[in-house]
Amino acid sequence: MTIPALLKHHGVDVPRYVTVDGQIVFDGVRTSVTGATHPVHALITAVAPHTFHGGVERLSVRQDSNWWDDKDALLIHKDAMAVAFPGFAYVRPTEDQAPAWFGTINTGRGSFKVGVFLRRDGGLPSIRVFGPRLGAYSSGRWTASPHLYLNGNLCVADQSDWDAQKHTAVTATAWAAHWLSAYTEWRMSRRWPVEGVRHVLAES
């Protein structure tokens, strides 16, 4: 049992933070008006409240124009990602593709190639893992991971957890790191350790 799981078992919910590489930390954190830091990992990002789900991923609603045509609106996401997850590469939008970032999340127990795709309607970004395959063999049969959408994308949060007015691609990437941290524990124990984060933090 992890320390956060043990604390939750006793009714204590602990805030979680994510490092620039994607590891989840919860102890030794110092917060100030300039952000959160860790003595080993330096700059870290708060994991905003969210809950893991599954089912069918909501399709992006068609828009007459793309919100990211407003360069300032897109710059908020780009600047935030450059600070919180500098190892992620930005891919400019095209006619067919929304702005996206590609990078590696290293949970400390496994590394995952991840794509973070903004949505035309400004909704919760789509998160896709490009490797390795998410699941495990049990009694000779492949079992898909819990909390995946039917299309294989990560269900990092409920749609209602996402607030386009204050959240950025960083928020979704931090949720992906938290999801993958839970997933690596599930791979070992076959028990999903946490359903999300409810502790209220200064959000990214």
Return the minimum-mean-pLDDT range out of 12-16, 21-25, 127-131, 142-146.
Answer: 12-16
Residue in the block written with tokens 């949970």: 107
Mean pLDDT of the chain: 86
Rounded Cα distance, 100 and 91, in Å: 5
User: What was the pLDDT predicted at 202?
Assistant: 41
The answer to whether residue 67 is domain-embedded is yes
CATH number at residue 93: 3.10.110
Return the minimum-mean-pLDDT range out of 16-20, 121-125, 169-173.
Answer: 16-20
Distance spanning both ends of the chain, measured CA to CA: 28
Rounded Cα distance, 147 and 28, in Å: 29
The answer to whether residue 173 is domain-embedded is yes
Q: What letter would DSSP give residue 185?
A: H
Rounded Cα distance, 90 and 115, in Å: 10
Residue 100's domain comprises 51-194
Q: What letter would DSSP give residue 93?
A: -
- Give how many domains the chain has, as a whole number: 1
In the predicted model, is pLDDT for residue 204 greater than 50?
Answer: no
User: What was the pLDDT predicted at 36?
Assistant: 85
The answer to whether residue 28 is domain-embedded is no
User: What was the pLDDT predicted at 111?
Assistant: 95
